[in-house]
Amino acid sequence: MRYLKQQNINRRTANHKSVYVDYTDTNVVLAPVNSGSVVLPSGTTAQRPINPVNGMMRYNTNIDGSGEVEIYQGSVWRSLRFKESTGIVQQNLGAGDGLNTIFGPLSPAPPSVVASGTTWGGQNLLVVVENVLQLNSINYVVVQNPTFSSETYTITTSTALASNSNVLYLNSSLTATGASGNGSTVTLTFSTQNAPPFAVGSTIVVTGFTPSGYNGNFTVTACTNASVSYASTFTTTMTFAGNITAKTAIYPTVNLVGATVTGTGIQANTTVLSYTLDSVTDVLTSLTLNKVTNAVIATNSSLTLTEATNTVSSGGYYIQFSTPVPYGKVVTVLNGFDQ
């Protein structure tokens, strides 16, 4: 007669069978009584086994700040994926300037698979440039801590600047709120700005209005903090507002703090202390300088803004396109697919 022996792990029960190896020595059986469960070994990333082997399983208490079950597979720790979907975040990374190829940083950061040692290559993203879908590894790649090459912009002032001032207001791009015409002049309105956003004599591009008679390229005849006007005989009532963009508007894609500014009325070694972008269009609207002007700067004056080579060191992830994004084309990312 052959006897099968199971290890007793409960001293109070003679025939304990919650954990045992079957008679073939092939399967480990977990059969807790009632509503029990199996608790995995747990710890931080730093507390992972020193010499892991494929098939190990544990609970990482600090991956992504929320904790995840992970398995050592293919010689790397990998987090188990949830079957339920997670939130998808839409992020506007700015508009192209015809020069730069790098946009970011991505937020939220890449998923926890990065912390487990694998390469993150855009599997969780949909990238769109002006409503055109971009393909990973063909149109763009995901890079960490990229180096931005130096860029030079020609900026134009939207309003005159007195001597001994240190804030430059620049020709802009805004979302309009209304439009009307009196037979000789059309006036477009927008939310109140800190200064007139379009220089008299500059060219603006009006798009997206209904009726379309408001749209086109026009020369600014007047501008206030809340409206801009141009010559036109159009008088039809507006039903849908669009955008107003100066042809000289700038869409910076690099950090401008520390960039140098040169031109008439600007002192030597003048740099940018801070700057503002429009919250909707991402256009550069103003610069605060470290030195005051030494002469009057007229409306629609051209100045040079130069940003030196800049390497990101914060650990951020960025989209890098194979070619520069065309001027004014908005880059949008949907982040969080395939979690």
pLDDT in tens, 84-136: 556 778 888 888 878 888 888 887 766 544 444 555 667 778 999 988 999 98
Q: What is the pLDDT of residue 103?
A: 87
What mean pLDDT do residues 254-280 have?
Answer: 92
Backbone angles phi, psi at 141, to 5 degrees: -135, 165
Average pLDDT, the chain: 84
- Do residues 33 and 44 share a domain? no
Residue 222's CB is within 10 A of a number of other CB atoms, namely 13
- Do residues 31 and 44 share a domain? no
Burial of 315 (0-12, 13-18, 19+ CB in 10 A): exposed
> 189: domain range?
173-246
| Residue 285 belongs to some domain of the structure | no
Burial of 296 (0-12, 13-18, 19+ CB in 10 A): middle
Could you report the per-residue pLDDT of 216-225, keeping only the tens digit for each? 999 999 999 9
- Do residues 72 and 119 share a domain? no
Q: What is the pLDDT of residue 322?
A: 92
Length of the chain: 339
Residue percentage of the chain with pLDDT more than 90: 48
> Nearest 5°: CA angle at 62, between 59 and 65?
125
Could you report the per-residue pLDDT of 232-257, keeping only the tens digit for each? 999 999 999 999 999 999 988 677 88
Asked whether the beta carbons of 195 and 169 are under 8 A apart, the reply is: yes
- Do residues 106 and 132 share a domain? yes
Instruction: Among 206, 223, 246, identify where a domain stops.
Output: 246
Could you report the per-residue pLDDT of 5-22, keeping only the tens digit for each? 555 555 555 566 677 777
| Residue 295 belongs to some domain of the structure | no
Task: Report the domain count for the chain.
Answer: 4
42-43 vs 57-60, strand pairing mode: parallel
- Do residues 44 and 30 share a domain? no
Alpha carbons 290 and 270: distance in angstroms, whole number: 6
| Residue 327 belongs to some domain of the structure | yes
More reliable by pLDDT, 338 or 320: 320
- Do residues 216 and 188 share a domain? yes
More reliable by pLDDT, 36 or 319: 319
Does residue 213 sit in helix, strand or coil? Answer: helix
| Residue 155 belongs to some domain of the structure | no
Asked whether the beta carbons of 242 and 206 are under 8 A apart, the reply is: yes
- Do residues 73 and 105 share a domain? no
Q: What is the pLDDT of residue 66?
A: 66
